[in-house]
Amino acid sequence: MKVTIVGGAGGVGASTAFNLGLMGGAHELILVDERPEMITSHVMDLQQVLELSPGCTVAGGDAADVRDADVVVLLSATPLTVGTSRLEYLAKNSSIADELADGLPAGWAGVIVVVTNPVDPLVTRLQQRTGHDRRRILGYTINDSLRLRTGLGRALGVPPGSVEAWVVGEHGDASVPLFDRVTVKGLPVRPTPDQAATAEEFLRTWYVRHVALDSGRSSTWTSGLGVARMVSALDGDGELWPASVVLEGEYGIEGVAVTVPVTIGRRGAEQIHEWQLGAGDLEALRTAAEVVRGATAGIDPSGPKKSRA
């Protein structure tokens, strides 16, 4: 499986390639970025990783490497700044997404994994601009669920990895934690109101607290491992994931992308699941969709969609 990582010189791109290398699948990894010296540096380093964990190949590439890729991971983005919400990056990052969209050939049959923020409007934008099968454009959003699990684990006093919990909706302020689907070591648990509030505060403040450090880095380790596992799932027989995907009537939502539970496999979203949500959670999910719709509608169209060879 050829995996082209657009934005491969950055921390998350390099971490994704590193984790895919450790997983040992027969992947052809191509790193693409506007900083060729950084790409060369990462490739030189990763080649020795493959001596310890063989299976993949890794090389630098260019924009043309999206054309025959099985999976394209979009990571390129404008740098993070303190006090800026994800949605405020939309104007600049949409032009990056447009460039990717316009570089894909007609009839391209691969899968795009969007990591660049804001994920949901960019997934929506890419699907509109390319006309690509909506199930083959997926937004990486599991970090919200992981942060909820961390917060719940602390509130419940259980070790990391014990909690399964899900966040749907927008990857941002309009996210929707599902407290009625929490399990601990596989057993259903209903958090108390105080426990839920503690976990939700952890979820909703993590991004702000992290960006406020002004460290110049994003969630390199979490996202690198998570994206690598998501890419590996695309080469598998089906795994349940939270992912942003354009909906066509599911949950009463039409034409925009939000995070919902999906089964990921070789065709992208093999199945989009419609869980029974409580009335409040369903209303919040639909509100999140309208936030994404409004943001997407505000993108400068920058002219008509370009024709693709």
- Residue located via tokens 């009537």: 249
Catalytic one of 27, 42, 132, 171: 171
From CA 30, how far away is CA 203, in angstroms rounded? Answer: 33
For the question of residue 171 being annotated catalytic, the response is yes
Residue 93 has a CB neighbour count (10 Å cut-off) of 24
Tell me the pLDDT tens digit for each residue of 279-296: 999 999 999 999 999 999
Which one-letter amino acid corresponds to residue 148? L
| DSSP structural state of residue 237 | S
Is the distance from CB of 225 to CB of 15 less than 8 angstroms? Answer: yes
DSSP state of 118: S
Pinpoint the alpha helices (H) of 192-240. Answer: 193-212, 220-233
Among 111, 120, 112, which residue's Cα sits nearest to residue 89? 120
Average pLDDT along the chain: 93
Q: Kindly state the DSSP code that residue 127 receives in the 8-state scheme.
A: H
pLDDT 10s digits, 117-153: 999 999 999 999 999 999 999 999 999 999 999 999 9
Q: What are phi and psi of 183, to 5 degrees?
A: -130, 150
- Every domain range in the chain assigned CATH 3.90.110.10: 142-297
The residues, ordered by sequence, that sit 6+ positions from 111 with a Cβ below 8 Å of its Cβ are 70, 71, 72, 136, 137, 138, 234, 267, 268
Mind listing the pLDDT tens digit for each residue in 10-57?
A: 999 999 999 999 998 899 999 999 999 999 999 999 999 999 999 999
Sign of CA dihedral 84, 85, 86, 90: negative
- Inter-CA distances, 59 with 30, 50, 51, Å: 5, 12, 15
Predicted pLDDT of residue 82: 53
**Beta strand pairing call for 111-114 and 175-184:** unpaired
Preceding amide of 118 cis, omega within 30: yes
Structure tokens at 148: 């909820």
User: Hey, what CATH topology would domain 142-297 get?
Assistant: L-2-Hydroxyisocaproate Dehydrogenase; Chain A, domain 2 (3.90.110)
Average pLDDT estimate for 198-213: 94
2-140, which class in CATH?
A: alpha beta
Contact assessment for residue 182 and residue 155, using Cβ atoms and an 8 Å cutoff = no
Task: Specify the pairing of strand 2-6 against strand 71-74.
Answer: parallel
Q: For the chain, where do the domains classified as CATH 3.40.50.720 start and end?
A: 2-140
